[in-house]
Structure 1
């Protein structure tokens, strides 16, 4: 035997309306006979007023059928309402899950894998430290909307992936012991950090980068971006005394990595603490250009730039110039390509390329 559970909810008022129509009774007639105001009668008919035992007895006296019939009719309606609400909520949760890069989040250990959708939903709620979707959207909509006008339209396609990347950056940066934000000290440290560009191994330069930045209140986190997130870097102040500088290592070459780092450093030093900067493809704004200029000037100071514009596009010349000014050859060829003096595929063997350890 199959139980009939309709996905629609019909209030007892529908049955009341059928009887009133059959007996040619108006809503006013019904309210008078029932001994209530017209407003209460309308609430009853439209399901806004629940039928209790006392009211069920009065309806039985006016319209017929037993009080048990009207109580059963009320119970069926309320059960349907609850069932539909549960189905709607489950659908909303499942759709939210589809907005997130769950596969990458699970494989990378950001969340625990679940056998069911409900287990994955719970894991994602814990990951974002929210209790419901409304809280998630309120928390992360502001982050993404503030960053949206500085990113390419592609970021709008999968905001859940961007939110997951930002959240993992927050989580990983939380373990970094930072001193309070000190703009002067951070600015002064960039000259020393610039020397790290000549260190080829991430296992050597990343710990030093993180340690030095933490001395001036900047938590540097390097998190591989998940599917759907095309970000290369992001900055935001998590508190007045603590900044997050998040890098994705997306392009896996030293010229992109270091240019992005100093670009993000420029945002922290040049722009408002209330701003959130999210870097990707096709970005164009005054603040982004300012950060680009800051990065370029930091890597290749002004007194060396004239020589860059006439530098021979030749391996030994690039290496000698890079050594003389104290940066990696990859940065020099990257800048020459950006300026259009070298082709995109020219002298790329001077760059250092990295890989992710799975």
Structure 2
């Protein structure tokens, strides 16, 4: 890269291929210009890659070279894409500190997919977040544009980078397993009817099975779930509520989140609670938001965030405490 000019070694421009074809045909730039009705300068600009091959030019070349116009257009499109990628890579090269702001555990967990040679590139991380640039990430996550019923900002949390990664991971997992369309009964009515069954399930799953291996934040495998987690997911799915378990980060120890994602109520929980009781309280707390607070807002537990309403949190806590007592937990 030299200033704004991109030096190319391995990607020929359509013009260079055209020059080879002219040589094969025994023509030069002046001959081609005369056959096209163009000036020699205009043709030389095409041959040197300084001028794009337009649909009109491609059709002219088809008539002269007998190579279909679509070939020349596709070659131009591929070349334009290559130039754009190189320009974007160059513009991102001075923003490596942005990438370093995210917890390294993301890579250990394989949340971001890197191809060979992409380890230093920002592109895979941008694809993970489905944003076009670090500036766009700032706008979406830190400048109050995170899409929920109204917009929130992660700018005030201790580590917005880790928190955003946790939230985005939940979105990706949700997209991989779309919810089936529910019958025309409100989620709240289905939840009220199913609540005794959920409480009974909690009562039957008070204690986490003992594990010989301690699960840590750095465990590289995918999200860890046990029979209790999968059972809870299936139970809630029947009533139209998605439950996800996603490992959080030390710098952002969020326990749970409630939001609506693509018109489905989503409860996202940390997958490695030390105590089963803590998991159940967090779950019931988020369930209360589904029951009482509809689509308006997003709530994150165990970290401070803007736009949380104390009265809603108090109501959710009271609901969770009652469910815990009904399930036989000592409060």
Shift of 1:99: 2.1
Matched, 1:137 2:160: no
Query: Which ranges of structure 1 fall in alignment gaps of 5 or more residues?
Result: 7-84, 302-325, 336-358
Of 142, 163, 183, which residue of structure 1 is paired with 2:188? 183
- Select which of 277, 281, 286 maps to 1:259: 281
The answer (yes or no) to whether the contact 2:252–2:303 under 8 Å persists in 1 is: no
* Backbone CA RMSD of aligned residues: 3.2
Match of 1:318?
none
Paired residues for 1:94-173 under 5 Å:
94-101=96-103, 103-113=104-114, 119-141=120-142, 142-143=145-146, 156-173=157-174
Cα deviation, 1:57-103, whole Å, max 9, x if unaligned, reads: xxxxxxxxxxxxxxxxxxxxxxxxxxxx98774323x12212212x2
Deviation at 1:186, TM superposition (A): 1.9
Contact persistence 2:112–2:124 (CA under 8 A):
yes
Match of 1:297 among 293, 313, 322: 322
Distance 1:259 1:86, change over 3 A: closer
TM-score in terms of structure 2 length: 0.58
Secondary structure (helix, strand or coil) at the match of 2:300 reads strand
Aligned pairs, number: 219
Distance in structure 2 (CA, Å) of the matches to 1:147 and 1:253? 30
Superimposed CA distance per residue, residues 242-295 of structure 1 (whole angstroms, 9 cap, x where no aligned partner)? 121100145321110000000000111211413011111578822111111111
Corresponding residue of 2:266: 244
- Contact 1:147–1:278 under 8 Å retained in 2: no
Please say if residues 267 and 291 of structure 1, whose CA atoms lie closer than 8 Å, have aligned partners that are also in contact.
yes
| Whole-angstrom distance in 2 between the partners of 1:267 and 1:299 | 16
Counterpart Cα distance in 1 of 2:287 and 2:301: 12
Instruction: Give the structure-1-normalised TM-score.
Output: 0.54
CA distance in 2 between counterparts of 1:110 and 1:118 reads: 13
**Match in the other structure for 2:253:** 230
Report deviation, 1:122: 1.4
* Shift in Å, 1:139: 2.6
Residues 1:233 and 1:135: Cα distance change in structure 2 (over 3 Å): same
What are the equivalent positions in structure 2 for 1:76-95 lying under 5 Å apart?
89-92=92-95, 94-95=96-97
1:1-358 alignment, distance < 5 Å: 89-92=92-95, 94-101=96-103, 103-113=104-114, 119-141=120-142, 142-143=145-146, 156-174=157-175, 175-180=177-182, 182-197=187-202, 198-199=204-205, 200=207, 201=209, 203-240=226-263, 242-281=264-303, 285-301=310-326, 326-327=327-328, 331-332=329-330, 335=331
Q: Report 1 or 2 for greater relative contact order, CA contacts < 8 Å, sequence distance ≥ 6.
A: 2
C-alpha distance in structure 1 between counterparts of 2:90 and 2:169, whole Å: 30
- Give ranges in structure 2 of 5+ residues lacking alignment: 4-87, 210-224
Query: Which has the larger share of helix?
Result: 1
